[in-house]
Every structure is written in C-alpha cells, then in structure tokens.
Amino acid sequence: MVAALLLAAAFLLQSGCNLIPEEEAELTMPVNTPDEVTYTTQTVGRGDVVNKISGTCYVVSRRRYDLAFTDRGGYLAELAVSQGMDVEKGQTLASLDVDSLKVEIEKKKLAIEKLKVELEQTVDIEEEDNSYRIARLELQLESQNLGLENLKNQLREANDNHEEEVVLESLKTQINQQRLAIQQTMLELEEVSQEKEEKRNYSNEYKQIDLKVAQLELNDLYDAFSKAVITSPISGRVIFVDENLAVGDYVNAQKIFITVADTSDLLFEYTGSNAANIKMGMEATLNVDGKDYTATVVQTPSSVPAEEYEAYKDTVQFRIEEMPENLTTGRRANYEIILEEKKDVVVAPKNAITKYLGGYYASVMNEDGLRSERDVEVGIESATHYEILSGLEEGDVLIIE
C-alpha cells in the first residue's frame, strides 16, 4: 500500500515538472555595419598645359568669281562648261537667247540711218530757201542803188538847166525815199542772213540731239547684248555649275550659277566658331594627306573689309609657303593651332574641378580620409587639364567620384 502511494507521488511529481514552461533563449539583435565608402581619386601633379584648337579646312582659291547675268534674265541658249573644266580668260561660258535683242538692235540702226538722211535733207532745204531770199534782196538792193544814181543824175541835170524849184524839190524827195528804201533792203538782207545762220544752227543742233539719243539707245542695246553672254574673267577652273540648269531653262537676273577660281593662287579655308579665337599671323599645323605642313593665318574676320564682313565673319584662311603638289579646290585638310602653352605647372584633371556660378572648386581627401571642398583658381586649360594658380598644391588627392 505504502509502495503504491510512493509510486503515485513520484508520477505526480514528474507530471508537474512537465507542466511548467521552459524559459526562452535570449534573442540577439542584428548589427548594421555601414558599407565602406570608396572614391576614385587622382593626385595633383605638375605638367604641361596646351590650349589648342583644331578643325577641318578646305582648299579654296584666293580669287573666286561668282558669275551671273547681272542686268537681265532670259532663257539659257548655251551652257558651254561643266564643273572641273579649265577655262581661258574671255572664254564664253554661257549665253541667253537674244534673238529679240538682235531685232531691236537692227531696228535702232535703221532709225539712226534715217535720222542722218533727214538731217542732211533738212539742212539742204533750209540752205536753198535762205539762199533764194538773200539773192532776191541783193538784186533788189542793186536795182535800188542804180535807181538812186539815176535820180542823182537827174537832179544834177535839173540844176544845170535851172529847172524850177518844184522840180528840184521833187527829185530831192525821190532821192531821200530811194535812200530809205536802200537802207530798208540792207536791214532785211542782214536779218535774213542772220536768220539763215540761226536756223542752220538750230535745225542742225536739234537733229544732232535726236541722233545722239538714238546712238545712246543703240549703245544700251549693245551693252545688254554683251551682258547676255558670260565670259570667264580669268584663266582658271570652273569649280561650280548649277546642276539644276539646262539649255532652254529660264535664268533670273543676279542668280549665281557658275563660279570660276584661279587655281594658281590657292589657300586653305576654315569656317566655324573657332574663327573668333584665331588671330592674324598665328602659326598653324596643317595635315594634308597624312603629312604635316606649317601654315600662317593670312585672313581672319577682323581683317576683312567692312563690306565683306558678313560673308567672312566666321572664316579663317591659311597659307602654306610651299603648297603640296596637285592640290585642287575642295581638298580637305586638318588644322591645329596652339593658342597658349604653359610648361611644368601645377595641373589638375578637368573632371575633378567643378565650375559653378563663375567660380571653380574641387573635392579634396584629407590625411584622415575625410572629404573637404576647396575654392580653386585656374589658369589656361587644355582638353583634359586645368593649370592651377591657387587652392591646390602638388600632392593633394582629388576626389573625382
């Protein structure tokens, strides 16, 4: 009995212990370790800084002539050249259809001949008319003089015969009247002679003016005829012909459709934004077909005449003293010009320098590994580096990223 009780007590004791919950294990909190910061850096050093510009230029002629029909448009009757053709000075390059102009010229020539004939006829008729009047007056004057002499003789005879006073006075009156008639005829003769000269001068001058006007009009027609033909102003090469034009097409006045260049006087020409930085007399290196040549700047926007500035405001021309052989207009070359150069100066890469609001600053890593910002003063620059005037020293570590 006692044994049974002891067994039951032991069982209960064991069961009670199982009913008490076990103590949970202590939780461990995670620890966040910050990632290690890494930078891309570069050390400030010394070196050379070269500020240079480069670009592409092309062979051009120093003398180029853009050609057009200046005064009149018309239908193209002849186009005698093509691009690349060599031409001689005075050679016909193109012409307009001028058949109607030829007709006008012939008409004007005939009009001039007609005026010449009219001038001769008018002078002859007036000469004949005036000559007749003068001859008539001269005969009249001669007759009046004879009549005067006759009256004088009668008066002398009457005096010799002691004629009555009435007869004598009558003869004297007749003599005075005859003298007045003679004076009147002489005045009329003088007037006719003067009129003849005035008429001659006036008529001749009037017709001469008509003739001069007609001749000027003919000259204008000849001038228009000559301007309907384009000839080469120089011996050279045709470097441009408008491919859209053909014989029979209408060409507007002032339309440039042919350009002739003097191939004996060639230059290299660059057009672009770099022109503003290039000065007269600068030395440049030109690479032509893989070979370098030393060239000199011979024209800049500031050196051209004011009336040509708009056309050349972005243009620079280079001349090589000894031009490569077999150059043709349009040939391409590369140029390079050193604007400024500093040797053995403190330099920093441009990608480590930040420009902001007109100033410059850089991120520098201190000896303890901390980052700081510094104001920087820069000098000249190359494509990749700045010259450092202040704010950085040789050996400083720049943070790029």
Sheet with 258-261: strands ordered across: 64-67, 258-261, 236-241, 86-87
Residue 54 pLDDT class (50, 70, 90 cuts): very high
Mean pLDDT of the region 22-44: 68
Comparing 62 with 51, the larger pLDDT belongs to 51
Pairing between β-strand 86-87 and β-strand 353-356 as defined by DSSP bridges: unpaired
Q: Which residues contact 229 (CB under 8 A, 6 or more apart)?
A: 92, 94, 95, 96
CB count within 10 Å of CB 378 equals: 22
pLDDT at 319: 94
192-206 per-position pLDDT tens digit? 777 666 555 555 677
With a cut of 50, say whether residue 3 has pLDDT above it: no
Sheet with 74-79: strands ordered across: 229-231, 92-96, 74-79, 250-251
Where b means 16+ CB within 10 Å and e means fewer, 328-355 reads ebebebebebeeeebeebbbbeeebbee
Comparing 399 with 23, the larger pLDDT belongs to 399
Whole-model pTM: value is 0.52
Q: Please tell me the least confidently modeled range out of 69-83, 166-180, 194-208, 306-320.
A: 194-208
| Tokens encoding 14 | 């064991």
CA–CA distance, 228 with 97 (Å, rounded to integer): 8
Highest mean pLDDT among 23-27, 326-330, 362-366: 362-366
Highest mean pLDDT among 101-105, 125-129, 298-302: 298-302
With a cut of 70, say whether residue 312 has pLDDT above it: yes
pLDDT at 259: 92
Residue 257 pLDDT class (50, 70, 90 cuts): very high
With a cut of 70, say whether residue 264 has pLDDT above it: yes
131-165 per-position pLDDT tens digit? 777 778 778 878 888 888 888 888 788 887 877 78
Q: Please tell me the least confidently modeled range out of 56-65, 121-130, 193-202, 206-215.
A: 121-130
For the chain, the farthest-separated pair of C-alpha atoms sits apart, in whole angstroms, at 241
Cα 168–169–175 angle (5° rounding)? 90
With a cut of 90, say whether residue 125 has pLDDT above it: no
336-369 per-position pLDDT tens digit? 999 999 999 999 999 999 999 989 999 999 888 8
CA–CA distance, 351 with 400 (Å, rounded to integer): 7
With a cut of 50, say whether residue 2 has pLDDT above it: no
Q: Which residues contact 363 (CB under 8 A, 6 or more apart)?
A: 352, 354, 371, 372, 373, 398, 399
378, 387 in Cβ contact below 8 A?
Answer: yes
Mean pLDDT of the region 82-91: 91
pLDDT at 1: 43
